[in-house]
Amino acid sequence: MEASHNNPLRTESSEEKPHKAGFVNIIGNPNVGKSTLMNALVGERLSIITSKAQTTRHRILGIVNGDDFQAILSDTPGIIKPAYELQASMMDFVKSAFEDADVLIYMVELGEKELKDEAFFNKIRNTDIPVLLLINKIDKGNEELLEAARTHWKEQVPNAEIFAISALENFGVAEVFNRILEALPVSPPFYPKDALTDKPERFFVNEIIREKILMHYKKEIPYSVEIDTEEFFEEDNIIRMRSVIMVERESQKGIIIGHKGAALKRVGIEARKDLEVFFGKKVHMELYVKVNKNWRSSERELRRFGYNGK
């Protein structure tokens, strides 16, 4: 997928420098702002952002290109204890973040004191990879809280460089990006220089529809849903797509559709508007709901939706 506009953080240089490229992997507890940070760095709304925890299910590669660098960013699911097959698969993506990282970003929010998984915490403390520890959401606190957080995390992760940021307000992000560039190894690019992400268009259709479901439905509904875009046809002036919302039970299907189809219609209208902005052209979308019993616990279905496996 090609970039549609420039990233404000990209730097251009006329000097001949050795080309740097590498993988920058972002990990942390659910809902600390990992997706917001990655979108601020990449300059496109690549990763699903809502106030509900556990919204990022796949490692999303966003790619930031300059004349003499390529930073490949992955946005991993928040670290949780697996409760069912889907969450176990999400944790596989987090484990793989350690395997290919050239720079590791460990993200916490102001006031947070611990990582939910002690084994991951030990991995972070003992890694040879450069670790940038970002204290996020500093706009929600004061200087005293921030100083206490700096002291706490310096003791907890002595090998980390600490940065205070607000990803949402874009405060401190440029400094983090400059440090990332310094830490990248000398390497040719891994992807074409016009690439924005390694994900296909259908992936982002699915993510945007899922974001609307996360926004408008309560309780277990958002976490029992997967989206499958079965058709995607791009013409000169319009993209035509057909997407199916998979749920686990008939009762969930009724809730998604709503009275006289009103709830499903709202999801479709809002998703279509976002997709038109994302793709830069008109979108015609057909949206359906199907029951796919116990898909979250089926290895075959999880593989089909791109989980078990990198």
Annotated binding site for GTP: 28-35, 75-79, 136-139
Other Cβ atoms less than 10 A from the Cβ of 133: the count is: 22
Do residues 174 and 189 touch, judged by C-beta distance below 8 A?
Answer: no
Residue of 208, 221, 294, 206 whose CA lies nearest to 257: 221
Selection from 106, 132, 122, 102 nearest residue 27 by Cα: 106
CA-closest candidate to residue 287, choices 213, 234, 214: 213
Residue ranges of the alpha helices (H) in 160-261?
173-183, 201-216, 250-257
Q: Is 108 within 8 Å of 59 (Cβ atoms)?
A: no
- Alpha-carbon distance of 232 to 228, in angstroms, equals 11
Known binding residues are 28-35, 75-79, 136-139
Strand pairing report for 103-109 and 238-247 = unpaired
CB 295 within 8 A of CB 301: yes
What are the distances in angstroms from CA 117 to CA 95, 112, 158, 159, 248?
Answer: 12, 14, 18, 18, 29
Take residue 17 and report the two structure tokens written for it.
């420098």
Residues 6+ apart with CB under 8 A from 118: none
